[in-house]
Amino acid sequence: MLKPAKETPLCALAVAEILREAGVPDGVVNVVCTSTAGPVVSAMLADPRVRKLSFTGSTEVGRVLLRTASETVTNCSMELGGNAPFLIFEDADLDAAIEGAVLAKMRNGGEACTAANRFYVHEKVADEFTTRFAARLEKMSVGPGLEEGTDLGPLVNEDTRSKVASLVADAAGKGGQVVTGGRAPDRRGYFYLPTVLRNVAPDAAILDTEIFGPVAPVVRFSDEADAIRWANDTEYGLVSYLYTSDLRRALRVTEALETGMVGINRGIVSDPAAPFGGVKQSGLGREGGHDGLLEFTETKYVALDW
């Protein structure tokens, strides 16, 4: 049974149609759409025939589902929230880092659990990166996704856009400077301009919150240890990104970062063959590849005398 989010049911229905066309018999995969998820999911988890729950969504909802599933000891996989740091060291290829930042931040308009949320940039390259990154985002065309030439579509709803605007306002009120964007365009729809902030204060809410929008706060650092400490200073641990030309540093920092996935000199980590998932409050288990298949199996040990 597949229950999509109420804001995005069409993707799930499209998947079901593809499976039907591929020959999966009717009734094997069932899509259940509802605007009141609580009662529907509670009914599912109360049924003893349900042996596995796989959830993708917020950490807050994941905690509720884990509590509910504990009543029936239902096996759970949780792909929850993120707060991905994007580290750029002084020896990084800035051309590659900017393109990677565009992919990691702007893919799906920033509405992805793997979206880069916080940019920690070495002070030697921070000004150049910020200026060039902002110039790159300013060239993006904002509009409905069906319009030809559109680079960035709307956010999913008004609540999300209001949250993004509030985070930007908080950061600006604490000394952060808007390099580009920082507002909703004057047009119908839940749009928000691609935004870059510099000199963001350590206590700004935007550094502790999953933005889920096209906003990139930039923080300068001078010491590798500080960058790692700031990157790990979150309850989330889904994915990290880092750019450097020093392989020893890349591996050293990768081991120190408290995330389930790390992208080294690349802005996309997702791959069907790779184990996708996080640590800490970002979830339980893995999706994808061999590890993802094992999440839906049970180990049976048989001892015998023949």
Write the CATH number for 110.
3.40.309.10
Whether residue 79 lies in the annotated active site: yes
pLDDT band of residue 244 (cuts 50, 70, 90) is very high
Q: Is residue 302 part of a domain?
A: no
pLDDT (average), residues 36-60? 93
CA 227 to CA 233: how far, in whole Å? 10
Query: Distance of CA 120 to CAs 90, 197, 204, Å?
Result: 11, 12, 14
Domain-located, residue 98: yes
Q: Is residue 213 part of a domain?
A: yes
Residue 221: phi, psi to the nearest 5? -140, 160
Is 87 in a helix, a strand, or coil? Answer: strand
Please tell me whether residues 66 and 170 are part of one structural domain.
no
- Give the pLDDT score at 148: 86
| 28 plus 143 within the same structural domain | no
Identify residue 194 by its one-letter amino acid code: P
Residues 218 and 282 placed together within one structural domain of the fold: no
Cβ atoms within 10 Å of 204's Cβ, excluding its own: 22
What global pTM score does this model have? 0.94
Output the CA angle 60-58-119, nearest 5 degrees.
115
My answer on whether 110 and 232 are in the same domain is yes
For residues 171 and 150, what is the distance between their CA atoms, to the nearest angstrom? Answer: 28
User: What band does 206 get if pLDDT is binned at 50, 70 and 90?
Assistant: very high
User: What is the pLDDT, as a whole number, of residue 54?
Assistant: 96
Q: Based on the domain organization, do 155 and 61 belong to the same domain?
A: no
Q: Which of 113, 210, 287, 295 is catalytic?
A: 113
* Domain-located, residue 168: yes
Mean pLDDT of 268-277: 95
Within a domain: residue 260? yes
Q: What is the pLDDT of residues 138-191, one digit of tens each?
A: 999 999 988 888 999 999 999 999 999 999 999 999 999 999 999 999 999 999
Q: Which amino acid is at 81?
A: G
Distance of alpha carbon 133 from alpha carbon 190, whole angstroms: 23
- H-helix or E-strand containing 121? strand 116-122
- Number of structural domains the chain divides into: 2
Looking at the fold, whether 26 and 39 belong to one and the same domain comes out as: yes
Q: Tell me, yes or no, whether 161 lies in a domain.
A: yes
Q: Are residues 159 and 128 in the same domain?
A: yes
And the tokens for 186?
Answer: 């004057």
**What is the mean pLDDT of the segment spanning 70-84?**
96
Question: How far is the CA of 17 from the CAs of 22, 23, 74, in angstroms?
Answer: 9, 10, 28
Whether residue 120 is found in the same domain as residue 25: no
From the candidates 76, 79, 111, 287, which is the catalytic residue?
Answer: 79
Rounded distance between C-alpha atoms, residue 26 and residue 19, angstroms? 10
Regarding whether 245 and 104 lie in a shared domain, the answer is yes
CA dist list (Å): 294 to 19, 87, 197, 283, 291: 21, 32, 42, 16, 5
Q: Model confidence at 37, in pLDDT bands (50, 70, 90)?
A: confident
The alpha carbon of residue 2 and the mean position of all alpha carbons in its chain are separated, in whole angstroms, by: 21
Whether residues 168 and 259 fall in one domain: yes
Judge whether 250 and 149 are in contact, CB under 8 Å: no
Dihedral of CA 110/234/165/169: which sign?
negative
Residues 6+ apart with CB under 8 A from 106: 137, 140, 151, 152, 194, 214
269 in a structural domain? no
What is the rounded distance in angstroms from the CA atom of residue 218 to the CA atom of residue 181?
A: 14
Q: Is 111 a catalytic residue?
A: no
Residues 174 and 29 in one domain: no
- For 94-142, write each residue's pLDDT tens digit: 999 999 999 999 999 999 999 999 999 999 999 999 999 999 999 999 9
Mean local confidence (pLDDT), 246-267 = 98
95 and 76 part of one domain: no
Confirm whether 40 is domain-assigned: yes
Question: 67 lies in which domain range?
Answer: 9-80+274-294
Quick check: 154 and 191 in contact, CB under 8 A? yes
